[in-house]
Amino acid sequence: MPRTARVVVPDLALHVRQRGHNRGQCFFQERDYSTYLDYLTFFARQYACSVHAYCLMTNHVHLFLTPHEENSCALLMKFLGQCYTQHVNKARGRCGSLWEGRFRSCPVASDAYALACYRYIELNPVRAGMVAHARDYPWSSYRANTERASDGLVSPHPAYPGMSDYGSLFDMELDPTLVDDIRKATSGGYVVGSPRRPRGRRMRKIGSVPI
């Protein structure tokens, strides 16, 4: 069965999720998290992606980024995944794949969903019961976005409200409907906030990019 074409438009933000193989662990010690972020920083620059938010969970990763070329995200995730897997395999004396397969992604076309993605990603450790507040989790972009701490990786999405307002977004509960929309769109690969494409309907294309 052919793979579903990804919806990718240059300069349109994406929510990206990648899980460990069989939903297994992919970060084992602090050095793993920092190594992943080093590779993410390098390949985001190499392949023209602006990273707006991230969260590295024990067995999966969330990224909110804008690819500036059609293949930017695919190349970023390919080399990021390969290099990080090599790091883990060497450190732990293992071999084989670390990831479940293809990463999942969905375009984020509206400012409302862009802000929801920021919160959805950085609140992951809170929903998992790992910390009481997003600020307490060291492996997300929350502090970089809230405090404008320069980490050489995070850059603002156009919807980003600025340092004085950003933290207040986390004082409000994220609407469960938005959470469900983001999860389903990411798994299905369609634009978040849009009706799901009916099965059997052909995808329309702009140039070579299916939408």
Nearest one of 36, 28, 17 to 94, comparing CA atoms: 28
CATH number assigned to the domain comprising residue 84:
3.30.70.1290
Q: Please provide the average confidence, as pLDDT, over all residues in the chain.
A: 87
Q: Is 181 a domain residue? A: yes
The pLDDT value given to residue 61 = 98
Predicted confidence (pLDDT) per residue in 180-202, tens digit: 999 999 999 999 976 554 333 33
Number of separate domains in the chain: 1
Structure tokens at 155: 């850059």
Res. 62: pLDDT tops 50: yes
Predicted confidence (pLDDT) per residue in 151-177, tens digit: 789 999 999 876 567 888 888 888 899
Among 51-60, 80-89, 143-152, the least confident range = 143-152
Q: Using pLDDT thresholds of 50, 70 and 90, give the confidence band for residue 96.
A: confident
Predicted confidence (pLDDT) per residue in 109-160, tens digit: 999 999 999 999 999 999 999 999 999 999 999 999 988 766 789 999 999 8
Q: Is 38 a domain residue? A: yes
Among 77-81, 92-96, 118-122, 140-144, the least confident range = 92-96
Q: Give the C-alpha separation, 162 to 150, whole Å.
A: 14
Q: Is 1 a domain residue? A: no
Domain of residue 18 covers 14-192
Q: Is 3 a domain residue? A: no
Q: Is 52 a domain residue? A: yes
Q: Is 2 a domain residue? A: no
Q: Give the C-alpha separation, 182 to 106, whole Å.
A: 8
The pLDDT value given to residue 35 = 98
pTM above 0.85, yes or no: yes
Cα distances from 164 to residues 117, 129, 151, 156, in angstroms, run: 19, 27, 19, 14
Q: Is 204 a domain residue? A: no
Q: Give the C-alpha separation, 115 to 162, whole Å.
A: 12
